[in-house]
Structure formats: structure tokens, C-alpha cells
């Protein structure tokens, strides 16, 4: 055990502030394991917590954020299979109670009592992260092959959230997809939809720079949803039929309404983004849903199974362009700079790497 240092570096959040400092390295107890972090990607959730706090993180308490991680099991507690030692893994962040109806469906991210790495449980913006026994027994170690580059591996969690949303929409090979909102998640959704068989992907975003980025990530068409002619242009691109699967990644009720309005007969719409406080979809177009036979769904988070499938796609080189979605890599020491850059929102995914990122 003495092979491991007694302390570790961590980016510690407390009351709206972020400080990189040394703290005791966690030691795995019974049923637990220790993960050496290879990289952690920043998510909008991390930035939101940094700026506004979170109900699961009490005032005055220190917390390590970061839930999009790849790492290696370097130490196991009593009762853990030693074969796990040395395994490279990605980790589904939400850990449910294990016995409520949501957990019995494998939907840990919907468990009313869930705990999550980076949101209450200490997360991956550190040199090491403690894997809880609940997390391990809920399928929380998803093995990831060595040949998958760090930049791609670190995105297994957010990509599997996109995968889940599109799967929930029963996307079939050959269908058309609209991604409404092309921030980082929208860009990941474009790549995910393509690998899941979308024949035509249309990306919509009012920001020109983002439309340009969507093109670089091989959206087949890009549209400005702020134009009066948006719906006309959209339907023209689909022979007047409309869109089979719409994923709304923009956190605005207006985008949700446009998304539902864009759907073809039998279309499925995924409300992927939550709305900000105070924003709500008034005048829900129920007659569109009724007369076009639409299905409006919502998903949040992912499951171990979906992460496993996404890792298989990565292993089969089906998601290689993900590498380009990582627009900056910072050493852990510069966590604050990374958060500032993520807040600006000019890039896509940002990685924090404990070793300084030499190999990334
Ligand atoms: Zn995330
Ligand atoms: Zn539960």
C-alpha cells in the first residue's frame, strides 16, 4: 500500500470557489476501489455548480467536481475481485439506491436517492477518485480497451447520454435527424446519430460559428432557427415530410417548440436539455402530437449498459472524430483556467489531466 502517496492533488470546490490543493488520498475500504485518473472532461454541469452551487453540495463543504472520467483501478479494498487491479475503466457517474423502481430498470440517474461522482460524491478533477462499493456493485466499472486514445475515452459518458436520448427515440438506420442546438452536446449528438445510422443530419443553431462547427463535424445541412423561413427550409430538406428524430439539446422552450413542430408523422422528439428556472413551454402543441402521432420523450444521464455500447463503438473506431471535439487540454494544476475557458464557451470539450497532459 505504501507504493501510493499519502496525498493527492485535487481541484477542490467550495462555496463558488475553486482551488487546486493537496489533500489526503482516499484509501479504499471494504467493497471499494481506487481509480487513478487519466483524464476528466468538463461538463456544463461542472460549470453550473461552480457558478451557482448545487443542492447536493452543502454550503461550506469541500467537493471535488468532475464526472466524465477515464482512469485505472490501482488499489482494491477487501472483498473486491483483484482481477480489477490495473483495469482501465470509464465510470457511469450516477449511483442509485439499487432497489427503487427506477433502479430496478437500471435507471440510476432517475433514482430519487441517487448519488453522483462530481455532484456530492468526490469526482475526477483529482489525481485519484474513490469508487464506492454501491457504484461498483451497480455496474460502475466499464472496461475500456487500451488502444482508445485518452481524448476519446474521456467522452464515453457524455456520448452515452446522447446515445441514450437517440435510442429512446428509436432511431433507425436511414432516418433523418435534427439536432437543435449545437453546443458541445449537440456536436457529440451529431456524431452519435451518424454512427447509429442517421441518413441525413440537420443541425440548427442561431450562432453562426456553431453552425460552422457543425459542418466540420459533418452535419449534412445547417440551418439558422432564428430565421422566419426556418420551418420551410427544414421541410424542404426532407421532401416536405419533416424530421424522424429530433434531439433538442438547446436549453430553451422555444427550441423545444420548434423541435416538436419539425417532426414528421410518427416522429420522435427527445427533450435532452433541461430548461433554466423560469423558462417553461407554454401552449404545448398537443394537437401536433395527436394528429401526427408524435412521441415526446426526455432523458437525462446514462446507464452502464449504454456506456458499454458506446465504448464498443469507440473500440471499433466508429467515433474517431470525437478526438477533434476536445478543443483544449489543461493540467490539473490549471483547473481554474480550464473552468474560465469552458465558461466562455468558445471551444467544445475541455480535458483536465493530472500528469500535465504530456501523453494526450
Ligand atoms: Zn456531464
Ligand atoms: Zn433507486
Outline where DSSP puts E strands in 15-93.
17-24, 33-41, 63-64, 68-76, 88-90
**Tens digit of pLDDT for each residue in 330-342?**
999 999 999 999 9
Ligand 2 centre to CA of 253 (Å) is 29
Same domain, 26 and 131: yes
**Tens digit of pLDDT for each residue in 252-298?**
999 999 999 999 999 999 999 999 889 999 999 999 999 999 999 99
Sequence-separated (6 or more) residues with CB below 8 Å from residue 316: none
Ligand 2 centre to CA of 93 (Å) is 14
**Tens digit of pLDDT for each residue in 111-121?**
999 999 999 89
Q: For position 32, what pLDDT does the model report?
A: 97
Ligand 2 centre to CA of 24 (Å) is 30
Same domain, 13 and 42: yes
What length does the chain have? 360
Same domain, 180 and 99: no
pLDDT at residue 217 is higher than 90: yes
Same domain, 88 and 35: yes
- Please give the mean pLDDT across all residues of the chain: 95
Domain that holds residue 71: 7-143+319-353
Same domain, 122 and 172: no
- Are 127 and 332 in contact by the 8 Å Cβ rule? The answer is yes
pLDDT at residue 355 is higher than 90: no
pLDDT at residue 2 is higher than 60: no
Strand order in the sheet with 7-14: 17-24, 7-14, 63-64
How many distinct structural domains can be found in the chain?
2
307 within a domain of the structure (yes/no): no
Per-residue exposure over 115-124, b if at least 16 CB sit within 10 Å of its own CB, e if not: bbbbbbbbbb
Ligand 2 centre to CA of 316 (Å) is 33
pLDDT at residue 1 is higher than 80: no
Amino acid at each position: 500500500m505504501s507504493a501510493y502517496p499519502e496525498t493527492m492533488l485535487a481541484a477542490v470546490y467550495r462555496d463558488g470557489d475553486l482551488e487546486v490543493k493537496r489533500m489526503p488520498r482516499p484509501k479504499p475500504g471494504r467493497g471499494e476501489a481506487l481509480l487513478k485518473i487519466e483524464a476528466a472532461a468538463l461538463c456544463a454541469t461542472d460549470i453550473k455548480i461552480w457558478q451557482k452551487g448545487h443542492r447536493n453540495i452543502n454550503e461550506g463543504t469541500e467537493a471535488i467536481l468532475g464526472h466524465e472520467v477515464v482512469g485505472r483501478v490501482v488499489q482494491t479494498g477487501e472483498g473486491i475481485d483483484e482481477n480489477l487491479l490495473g483495469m482501465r475503466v470509464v465510470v457511469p457517474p450516477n449511483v442509485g439506491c439499487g432497489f427503487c423502481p427506477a433502479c430496478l430498470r437500471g435507471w440510476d440517474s432517475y433514482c430519487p436517492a441517487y448519488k453522483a461522482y462530481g455532484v456530492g460524491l468526490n469526482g475526477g478533477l483529482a489525481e485519484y477518485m474513490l469508487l464506492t462499493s454501491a457504484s461498483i456493485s451497480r455496474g460502475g466499472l466499464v472496461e475500456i480497451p487500451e488502444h482508445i486514445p485518452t481524448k476519446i475515452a474521456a467522452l464515453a459518458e457524455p456520448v452515452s447520454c446522447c446515445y441514450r436520448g437517440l435510442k429512446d427515440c428509436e432511431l433507425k438506420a436511414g432516418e433523418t435527424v435534427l439536432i437543435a442546438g449545437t453546443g458541445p452536446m449537440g456536436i457529440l449528438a451529431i456524431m452519435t446519430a451518424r454512427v447509429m445510422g442517421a441518413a441525413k443530419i440537420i443541425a440548427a443553431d442561431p450562432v453562426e460559428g456553431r453552425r460552422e462547427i457543425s459542418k466540420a463535424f459533418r452535419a449534412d445541412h445547417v440551418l439558422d432557427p432564428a430565421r422566419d423561413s426556418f420551418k420551410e427550409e427544414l421541410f424542404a430538406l426532407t421532401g416536405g415530410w419533416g424530421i424522424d428524430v429530433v434531439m433538442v439539446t438547446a436549453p430553451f422552450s422555444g427550441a423545444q417548440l420548434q423541435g416538436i413542430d419539425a417532426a414528421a408523422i410518427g416522429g420522435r422528439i427527445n427533450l435532452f436539455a433541461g430548461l433554466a428556472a423560469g423558462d417553461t413551454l407554454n401552449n404545448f402543441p398537443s394537437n401536433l402530437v395527436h394528429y401526427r402521432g408524435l412521441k415526446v420523450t426526455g432523458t437525462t444521464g446514462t446507464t452502464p449498459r449504454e456506456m458499454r455500447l458506446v465504448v464498443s463503438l469507440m473500440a471499433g473506431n466508429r467515433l474517431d472524430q470525437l478526438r477533434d471535439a476536445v478543443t483544449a487540454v489543461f493540467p490539473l494544476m490549471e483547473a481554474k483556467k480550464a473552468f474560465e475557458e469552458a465558461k466562455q464557451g468558445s471551444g467544445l470539450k475541455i480535458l483536465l489531466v493530472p500528469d500535465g497532459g504530456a501523453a494526450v
